[in-house]
Amino acid sequence: MSQTTEFTPSGQLQLGVFFQGVNSGTVWKAPASGSQTDFESFRRIAQTAERGLFAAFFLGEGLRLREHLGRPHALDVAGRPDAQTALAALAAVTTSIGLVATQNTTYNDPADLAHRLSSLDLLSGGRAAWNIVTTDNAWTGANFRRGGYLDHADRYTHAEAFVETAKRIWDAWNGDGTVRRVHHSGKHYTVDVTPRLPRTAQYRPVLFQAGDSPEGRDFAARQADVIFSAHPQLADALDFRRDIVERTLRAGRGANDVKIMPASEFILAATPEEALEKKAWVRSLQIGPEQAIAYLEQFWGRELQGYDPDGPLPDIDPVVEETSETRGSGFHGAKARQLADQWRAEAAEKGLSIRQFVSAKTSRGDSTFTGSYTEVADRLAEYARTGAVDGFNISPWLIPTGLDDIINHLVPELQERGVYPTQYAGSTLRENLGLATPVRSAAGADAPTVTAQA
Ligand X SMILES: Cc1cc2nc3c(=O)[nH]c(=O)nc-3n(C[C@H](O)[C@H](O)[C@H](O)COP(=O)(O)O)c2cc1C
324 binds ligand X (CB under 6 A): no
Work out how close the CB of 213 gets to ligand X at its nearest, in angstroms, rounded to a whole number.
3
Q: Which helix (H) or strand (E) holds 260?
A: strand 259-269
264 binds ligand X (CB under 6 A): no
- Provide Rg for the chain, Cα atoms: 22
Work out how close the CB of 161 gets to ligand X at its nearest, in angstroms, rounded to a whole number.
16
DSSP H helices, 124-271, are 138-141, 152-171, 214-223, 234-250
Give the CA dihedral 305, 309, 311, 316, nearest 10 degrees: 30
Binding test (CB under 6 A) with ligand X, winner from 26, 48, 124, 135: 135
Cα 361 from Cα 296, distance rounded (Å): 11
298 binds ligand X (CB under 6 A): no
Work out how close the CB of 280 gets to ligand X at its nearest, in angstroms, rounded to a whole number.
25
Binding test (CB under 6 A) with ligand X, winner from 52, 126, 195, 216: 216
- DSSP letter for each residue of 42-59: HHHHHHHHHHTT-SEEEE
Site string for ligand X, 90-129 (x = CB under 6 A): ------------x-x-------------------------
Distance in angstroms between the alpha carbons of the first and the last residue of the chain: 32
Residue 390 dihedral angles phi and psi, to the nearest 5°: -100, -5
Work out how close the CB of 206 gets to ligand X at its nearest, in angstroms, rounded to a whole number.
16
328 binds ligand X (CB under 6 A): no
When the beta carbons of 214 and 252 are compared against ligand X, the nearer one is 214
Work out how close the CB of 168 gets to ligand X at its nearest, in angstroms, rounded to a whole number.
23
Work out how close the CB of 106 gets to ligand X at its nearest, in angstroms, rounded to a whole number.
8
- Residue 155's identity, in one-letter code, is R
210 binds ligand X (CB under 6 A): yes
DSSP H helices, 92-233, are 110-123, 138-141, 152-171, 214-223
Cα 418 from Cα 378, distance rounded (Å): 11
134 binds ligand X (CB under 6 A): yes
Cα 385 from Cα 432, distance rounded (Å): 19
421 binds ligand X (CB under 6 A): no
Work out how close the CB of 228 gets to ligand X at its nearest, in angstroms, rounded to a whole number.
5
230 binds ligand X (CB under 6 A): yes
Q: Which residues bind ligand X (CB under 6 A)?
A: 60-62, 102, 104, 133-136, 210-213, 215-216, 228, 230, 263
